[in-house]
Structure formats: structure tokens, C-alpha cells
């Protein structure tokens, strides 16, 4: 189940993440990456209340090859990275958003993504992307995992927000 897409203005959003290239399906890679970023946050003395939610930032989305993604957490204020943990900021601007409610497994988030992409096409909304070496790079395409499965046991109640930067 997902909400009606809409456009909203967003501020800069700092985050910490690990950048990686993953094959599809990539779910099995996410847990260890989030754990590594969370361990770094804790090593910096940051309480859990100062970061979150979990996120995946999609840099490339060619489903026929590996995806370039960043896996991490939003933070309240810029925090230094270390080793392979990078500190970055999602750009401010207009984002097309949609809220998906349901399991993180299966095709639900994929179907929500297709709905958002179709809605944008129908409404002549252009994505904020660039092309390098014939590859499309997204300047702001994020899945925000708003529900922590450690706290909510019912996957039907999990909430994921899709937010894609528009031109």
C-alpha cells in the first residue's frame, strides 16, 4: 500500500554512509553495512536519538548491472566519517515523495517506486540527474526506512518513504 505522490521542499540533510556497488537482488548486503555505520556513530559518542532513519541513496539505477548505492543513516548535524564511512549531504530542493507501508522484503517497495516514476512521467516531472560515461547518476534518490524492525515486529506496518530530487 502506498500514498499519493506529491512534491515537497526539503532542506539539506547530512548523513553517514558506506558507498558500494551491489548486484540485484542486494538485500543481503544491507544489514552488515548499516551495522558498520551504526558502530561508527556509536564510536563517536552519538546516542541513537541523534541519528536515523536508515537510508539507501541510489546513485545509479541501471537494473541490468550493479547499482551504485550508499547505505547509512541521516544525522542531526554533520559528523566526520572514517575509513570507508563517508559523510555527505543530500541536496536541498524539491522532492517527489511517496510513502509505502508494508514489508521491506518482496516487490512492495519496487511497485511503489514504479508508481512514483509513472506519476512523475504522467505529470511531466523531470528528475535531477546527470549523465557520465553514458550512465545516469541521480543527484538525490533516497529510500528512507522509517520503521525499525527491531521495534516493530509486524512487517505490514513497516513504512518506507521514497524521495527523488526533481529539477
> Residue 114, SS3?
helix
SS3 of 20-68: EEECCCCHHHHHHHHHHHHHHHHHCCCCHHHEEEEEEEECCCCCCCCEE
Q: Provide the terminal-to-terminal Cα distance of the chain, rounded to the nearest Å.
A: 27
pTM, rounded to two decimals: 0.94
C-alpha cell of residue 8 = 515537497
**Residues 86-141 pLDDT 10s:** 999 999 999 999 999 999 888 999 999 999 999 999 999 999 999 998 889 999 99
- For the chain, domains (ranges, CATH) are 6-165 (3.20.80.10)
Return the pLDDT at 48.
Answer: 80
Rounded Cα distance between 32 and 120, Å, is 33
Query: 59 falls in which pLDDT band (50, 70, 90)?
Result: very high
Rounded Cα distance between 161 and 112, Å, is 10
Rounded Cα distance between 66 and 22, Å, is 5
Rounded Cα distance between 63 and 107, Å, is 14
Return the pLDDT at 50.
Answer: 80
Amino acid at each position: 500500500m502506498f500514498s499519493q505522490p506529491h512534491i515537497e521542499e526539503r532542506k539539506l540533510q547530512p548523513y553517514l554512509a558506506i558507498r558500494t556497488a551491489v548486484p540485484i537482488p542486494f538485500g543481503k548486503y544491507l544489514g552488515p553495512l548499516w551495522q558498520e555505520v551504526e558502530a561508527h556513530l556509536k564510536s563517536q559518542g552519538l546516542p541513537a536519538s541523534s541519528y536515523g532513519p536508515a537510508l539507501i541513496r541510489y546513485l545509479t539505477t541501471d537494473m541490468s548491472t550493479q547499482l551504485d548505492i550508499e547505505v547509512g543513516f541521516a544525522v542531526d548535524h554533520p559528523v566526520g566519517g572514517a575509513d570507508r564511512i563517508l559523510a555527505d549531504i543530500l541536496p536541498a530542493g524539491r522532492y517527489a515523495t511517496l510513502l509505502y507501508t508494508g514489508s521491506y522484503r518482496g516487490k512492495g517497495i519496487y511497485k511503489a517506486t514504479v508508481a512514483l516514476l509513472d506519476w512523475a512521467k504522467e505529470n511531466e516531472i523531470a528528475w535531477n540527474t546527470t549523465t557520465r560515461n553514458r550512465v545516469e547518476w541521480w543527484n538525490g534518490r533516497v529510500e528512507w526506512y522509517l520503521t525499525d524492525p527491531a521495534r516493530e515486529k509486524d512487517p505490514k506496518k513497516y513504512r518506507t518513504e521514497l524521495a527523488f530530487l526533481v529539477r
